[in-house]
Amino acid sequence: MSLHRPYDPDHPLFARCSCGADHRPADHPLDQPSGQPVGEPDGRSDTARLPAVAAAAHPATVSSVALAEQQSSNFLESVVLKALMPHEPTRRRFLGGVGAATAMGAIASLFPLDSLQAMAMEAGPLEKKDLKLGFIAITCAAPLVMAEPLGFYKQQGLNVTLNKTAGWALIRDKMLSREHDASHFLSPMPLAISMGLGAPQTPMRVAAIQNTNGQAITLALKHKDRRDPASWKGFKFAVPFEYSMHNFLLRYYLAEHGIDPDRDVQIRVTPPPEMVANLRAGNIDGFLGPDPFNQRAVYDEVGFIHILSRDIWDGHPCCGFGVHADFIQQNPNTFAALYRAVLQGCVLAHDPKNRTTIAKAIAPANYLNQPETVLDQVLTGRFADGLGGVKNVPDRVTYDPVPWYSMATWILTQMKRWGYIKGDVNYNDLAEQVFLLTDARKHMAEVGLAIPPDARTGYRHFSVMGKEFDPAKAAAYANSFAIRKS
């Protein structure tokens, strides 16, 4: 749906939920169908009206540029209205009294909206049109992957080849060797590579977060009566990579239950596509991994979902869209075009009404190679838990591209806590160097994505398992845990 409808008196100027109401997606009432957003009587969103989306994402018929232009125009006009009438009830009374057409004419007579829109969408010549992008076949990559069948890359003048890659070490190596121009990354990876951890020191950048939430701890069915993590001593766990949110969230979760992840259990790196097979073979007791493999373990009747990662830290980052720092410097227009295409994927993935169609679009063998029903359960949040229950968690996975500095700062505290970083670290300086929040704000505005007000600073407080994180006190936070690597 359009995130901004400035001349609709019944719609908040900057709504936070895709249904059109001013509440978080997690607070969307279960008894209110998300398919009936406020102000859209037929229940269809702007994106759902696109023939390509309705027809399972046929690239030839998608007008993503038109969508982006309309969203950008709506965003600009929303900003102007907000400046003129910052009091929401006043704006609504005014629009209700004079009507949308009169209001549009009055605003247009005062502000050069066409010129502002042209400036916002202006693009220079592309320095490089043929690009190779790496990705892992997981639902985190949905915005980057679906931009190909939906034609978003071509609409930006790019010829993109998506290279499905088997594991994160290969993703790292192909970026370092320049075989890939940009890549789907685990969000901690560019931080680690930029510091020379596990790889030659190379400046990498996180342009956007691909997804938040969307992971889980899955255990073998034989452990269905061992739900207390305090009883997990001796367990063998898999994570997809050392420098991953999976590793840091699993370590955090275990330590909060009195389990030392370096002494009481084994944590081994396993490529995501191999996790279910290792669970079935008894090589591991569980894994904290990406979807769809948690749901695939349930589908294959070899595991159950113990806890979703959102219940450890709601809103945590997982994967990001990353590039070399010098790629941005050498190809600024290409980078901007690529960024817009990926963000257009985020626009669609952000809206829960599109999730079933997305499942169909990314299910084929050249993308995720998974049953549609598995992907649909992950993306819609209505899923079997493997223990006979059916859960309804709409924000099991979300697609919020803002690369918050505070996300990077928390990741760095966990690298320090578990001994990956030796010596002192300037948390905020490194976070602001690697996570490109300024670019994100600019390009999100171009495609009409709402930007949270506190994204101006890039820092926000949040809680992980009930413990508040203050990014201004990162060093003290890293040293505050009873269980950590000395």
How far apart are alpha carbons 463 and 476 in whole angstroms? 15
What average pLDDT does the segment 349-355 reach?
Answer: 92
Q: Global pTM? A: 0.78
What pLDDT is attached to residue 83? 56
With vertex at residue 96, the alpha carbon angle to CA 94 and CA 101, rounded to the nearest 5 degrees, is 85
CB-based contact 15:3 (threshold 8 Å):
yes
Confidence category of residue 13, pLDDT binned at 50, 70, 90:
low
Confidence category of residue 84, pLDDT binned at 50, 70, 90:
low
What pLDDT is attached to residue 343? 92
Phi, psi angles (nearest 5°) of residue 426: -90, 95
User: Where, residue-wise, is CATH 3.40.190.10 in the chain?
Assistant: 127-486
- Is the pLDDT reported for residue 122 higher than 80? no
Q: What is 127-486's CATH topology? A: D-Maltodextrin-Binding Protein; domain 2 (3.40.190)
Query: What does pLDDT average to over the chain?
Result: 85
Q: Residues 314-340: pLDDT tens digits? A: 999 999 999 999 999 999 999 999 999
Which residues in 129-145 are b (16+ Cβ under 10 Å) and which e? eebbbbbbbbbbbbbbb
Q: Residues 19-54: pLDDT tens digits? A: 445 454 455 454 444 443 333 334 443 333 333 443
